[in-house]
A and B are shown apart, each in its own frame.
Chain A
């Protein structure tokens, strides 16, 4: 197919798009390159190619522990926030009526507040209620709190786009409310639920400010561990774990795009 000749404006826009991509991707590329650095310090450009920082990373026990701790935490938090967010979205979209305008900002507030504030508030309340600021429970509650709004937003938008006459058709054909939900509604919002759950997982896994205030000995998440590590040792182990992090995040995004479609995150259909 022949293309229309591009004028100056088109070329300018192309250039801008290219620069935007460079701006977005360059830091990631630099970190990845730094992870394969043959030298002793974290810097760019690298001095030769080496995998030694990865082997050092795998040998660094507290780093690996934090990595798996973060995964467990993100799993627990994202599953919980998916359930809560789904329930909240169903209620607000379907049944809340006028109350919806009150509930919506309330559920979304963890997204609006700086997470360091949310963390501080949680820490103080955990101490004063005796749960203690440094426990798995505290982190779990905090991460659930800040990931719920994502699920709520996505599932709400899917529900607003949902054609209710399908549910009525099911009821008309003899399905109870519950049967209608499982046979008709759920298959339709499933992609939105999965998509937002994955998004919640990544958000929890990357969360730093909130975790910083709520982690304690034995309960350190990966970003906090990386932060601690970099304060004392400025070697490319941090870049190596960052690379694993990046691969994980992109991998999940890739899988999601090819299973449920990333569009569900803003209410579009696959």
Chain B
């Protein structure tokens, strides 16, 4: 096992750039998710690593080996497919043993290793069954066992939970996490489900339109998103059009239609050389906003916006407000039900500057 390095991968399909300069490093033993909407290039990246696609340019290395153009069967990488891709004409045992047979492992060792891995995935005694006789979750575990039994350098998972029902999906998330800790294998996990990525991953690589927007730990990603797309994909965000004013003691000023907003949540490299007047986005998450019917005290670290309650929905633990600002923006606010402002009333919403994101235009 060793680190995986993707270096400037590019891939085009019929004139469309599917992968646009994908570079990243995945450390030994890490579980990294490739997260993004469908068509963002996450599956293509995975297929390049597995050897089912060859990038037009760029290199993929595992440890010291350049595997970019190696045949899939020589890569020693395990893969779990979205539909499991079990061989329906083979028993569970033969499915799991397939990779070992291809490696000409002795009969006794095959039997021993298959039975060991079946125990690990909790499928002892299922040897003689056929895949069609198993439930979705069990098939999933056969697919994982089949990939792990060859002791691959790396395990790739392509939306492995997408075909399971919601309850089972939740269970499998924790199961996969536990399995990864036990086996200690490097995993690359493709998903479009943010909560899945948040629960499972050591780090998440967020992709849009063939580009990596951000690569960070789950918490970091939520707290300090690098782009508006990331902020929007992981959680909710209210975007405001604004112009960059400048930096002032670690605080960035941006002029929006509702006034000058103070932002303390931003990635400084993105703005350190930015000229004043450059269009930017300011983002505030609905749960960071406070709503009240009177103007809060003007504090230095507070952004205050006036507006009218346009819509209000009660969702149990909170009110979900939509507030219209004089500038024509509609801001979503999620506030505790203790504050109840009727529809049509004037209100003030506020957010601390540490919760106010400054984001570059994409």
Contact = CB atoms under 8 A, between A and B. Distances in A.
A166 B85 contact: yes
A46 B87 CA distance: 57
Contacts of A163: 83, 85
A172 interface: yes
Interface in A171-210: 171-176, 179, 183-184, 187-188
Contact of A173 (B82, B83, B89, B146): B146
Most chain-A CB neighbours within 10 Å: which of B71, B73, B75, B103?
B73
B81 A174 contact: no
B87 A172 contact: no
B52 A168 contact: yes
Contact of A174 (B82, B86, B103): B103
17 contacts: A163-B83, A165-B83, A166-B85, A166-B86, A168-B52, A168-B79, A168-B85, A169-B81, A169-B85, A169-B86, A169-B146, A170-B98, A172-B75, A172-B78, A173-B98, A173-B146, A184-B87
A187 B103 CA distance: 21
Contacts of B218: none
B289 interface: no
B85 A173 contact: no
Interface of A: 163, 165-166, 168-176, 179, 183-184, 187-188
The 9 closest A-B pairs by CB, nearest first: A173-B99, A174-B102, A169-B85, A165-B85, A171-B72, A172-B79, A187-B89, A165-B81, A174-B73
Contacts of B75: 172
Nearest to A173: B99
Task: Say what secondary structure dominates the interface of chain A.
Answer: helix
A171 B147 CA distance: 12
Nearest to A172: B79
Contacts of A183: 87, 98
Nearest to A168: B52
A163 B84 CA distance: 11
Contacts of B4: none
Given A172-B77, A173-B146, A174-B102, 8 more contacts: A165-B81, A165-B83, A166-B85, A171-B52, A171-B71, A171-B72, A174-B76, A176-B73
A158 to B, nearest CB: 14
Contact of B89 (A169, A172, A188): A188
A182 to B, nearest CB: 12
Interface in B74-116: 75-79, 81-83, 85-87, 89, 98-99, 102-103
Nearest to A165: B85
B150 interface: yes
Contact of B102 (A175, A187, A188): A175
A169 B73 contact: no
Nearest to B89: A187
Contacts of A165: 81-83, 85
B81 A175 contact: no
B50 interface: yes
Nearest to B81: A165
Contacts of B73: 171-176
Nearest to A175: B102
A188 B87 CA distance: 9
Which has the most chain B C-beta neighbours within 10 Å: A166, A169, A175, A176?
A169
Nearest to B94: A183
A168 B72 contact: yes
Contacts of A171: 51-52, 71-73
Nearest to B146: A173
A168 B81 CA distance: 9
B102 A172 contact: no
A173 B72 CA distance: 8
Nearest to B79: A172
Nearest to B156: A172
Contacts of B89: 187-188
B75 to A, nearest CB: 8
